[in-house]
Chain A
């Protein structure tokens, strides 16, 4: 490898990492928070079979899972201004990523809720709890444990999907790599470098996921 490439890589590394920490990571965290709230509400509506809303939720999942993320980003960022909704690029990316992943995560949480045994719910009723309280104290904590590995996966894939925000002009880590490359024309080196930083972030998330799983298993195996 020649010296020029080396110095480009060494110089760009802190820059890329900086954008990663300042933009990619917050975008992931905010989008994931939105996704989690949306997923929880959608899962609960379906689990509790709330009429009317249930149909709306199925519709949302259908649309979101059936269309590409990239197309959704374009519709919201480039399309919505023509109907008077003009969002900053970061906000648009955050909302689209959140609602997109939320659709997948709602199915994860719904499945986990449905795996909580009927007896747990009935015992809740019998000690005088209402449905929302049973959800909060008994069913959701148990479902969360079941869903945790899959939710971890969602977060990891979301972190990588934030790179799509580059296409709607969000100056995040990947967009920054493109910008630098436009100046120095070292595609292979720069894109490998940015891939490495994504890998570092994802490895860290995987590590957190493992720790979380260990913590959650404190109440031991399931039975009956």
Chain B
């Protein structure tokens, strides 16, 4: 087991956003996390990356246990070295070129030599089809291009797992495909990925596991084929029906 999440809880004021979330991730799993808006998916991700402090819960990663409420700065730094995060709004560094966006974490973060960092960055940008835009600034790119650069930036640190927080939700419909294609390619290469998404085709065809969250708990979880073919819970069936109508 690569990642074990246990009993994550998080509340804001009177609202219990996460009410005891537990699940496991194996190496090369692609886990799609589904659920209606406001169900706590993004908060869960933010807690797992320590962008928010959970009220309680643990995460076992590579055999090491991290307390999501009490992790030290050193723990968090260590964990972040092995994980990467792709944001809904890309969050590329606006004052950096495409190339510098990818190298910054390697040079200023990991202390790598500029020359080596550039080589890795170019390779990753090649992979996402952005090698011809090295010296562009984020504001000169489309949303889809920005998100692909963000994926290259995530890949550059050679993470063991990548968290994607609604990576296509901010994109115009015609730009979604180019990002999903990159993600599909990563999945095929065996990258372990956790993906909060509303893209059912991705969840159905690319992910290996699906977790359906509502009101802060897991309603249903299972292999994605089974989840879509034979949902067990009434609530899941209703959710799947409602999105059938959309697509």
B91 proximity list for chain A (CB < 8 A) = 117, 119-120, 122-123, 224
How many B residues touch A, CB cutoff 8 Å? Answer: 28
B53 contacts partner chain A, Cβ-Cβ < 8 Å: no
| Chain A residues within 8 Å of B153, by CB | 127
Interface residues of A toward B: which range?
20 to 34
Q: What sequence of 0s and 1s flags, for each residue 207-224 of chain A, a beta carbon within 8 Å of any chain B beta carbon?
A: 000000000001111111
Q: Is the CB of A137 within 8 A of B104?
A: yes
B110, A128: Cβ atoms under 8 Å?
A: yes
Please tell me if the beta carbons of A129 and B109 are within 8 angstroms of each other in the complex. yes
B94 and A126 contact, CB distance less than 8 A: no
For the complex, give the distance between the alpha carbons of A125 and B85 in Å. Answer: 10
* Chain A residues whose C-beta falls within 8 Å of the C-beta of B93 in the assembled complex: 120, 123-124, 137-138
Nearest CB in chain B: distance from A122 CB, A: 5
15 A-B pairs within 8 Å (CB atoms) are namely A122-B51, A123-B92, A125-B51, A126-B85, A127-B84, A128-B77, A128-B157, A130-B77, A133-B108, A142-B94, A219-B137, A220-B139, A222-B139, A223-B139, A224-B90
Report whether A119 and B89 are in contact in the complex, using a CB–CB cutoff of 8 Å: yes
A145 sits at the interface (CB 8 A): yes
Q: Are B92 and A126 in contact (CB under 8 A)?
A: no
B87 with A119: CB separation less than 8 A: yes
A189 at the interface (CB under 8 A from B): no
**How many contacts between A and B, using CB within 8 angstroms?**
75
Min CB gap B196→A, angstroms: 15
Q: How far is the CA of A51 from the CA of B101 in the complex (A)?
A: 32
Instruction: Indicate if the CB atoms of A127 and B105 lie closer than 8 Å.
Output: yes
Nearest CB of chain A from residue B148's CB, rounded to whole Å: 15
- The answer to whether A129 and B137 have CB atoms under 8 Å apart is no
The answer to whether the Cβ of B95 comes within 8 Å of any Cβ in the partner chain is yes
Asked, given contacts A123-B87, A127-B109, A133-B109, whether A141 binds B95 with beta carbons under 8 Å apart, the answer is: yes
Does B6 sit within 8 A of A, measured CB to CB?
A: no
* Interface contact A224-B89, CB-CB below 8 Å: yes
Interface flags for B66-103 (1: CB within 8 Å of A; 0: not) read 00000000000100110011010111111110000000
The contact string, 1 if C-beta is below 8 Å from chain A, for chain B 143-173, is: 0000000000100010000000000001000
Nearest A-chain residue to B153, judged by Cβ: A127
For B57, list chain A residues within 8 Å (CB). Answer: none
Please measure, in the bound complex, the distance between the C-alpha atom of A129 and the C-alpha atom of B51, giving whole angstroms: 13
Whether B94 and A222, one on each chain, are in contact in the complex, defined by CB atoms closer than 8 angstroms, is yes
Instruction: Select A220's contact among B49, B77, B110, B140, beta carbons within 8 Å.
Output: B140
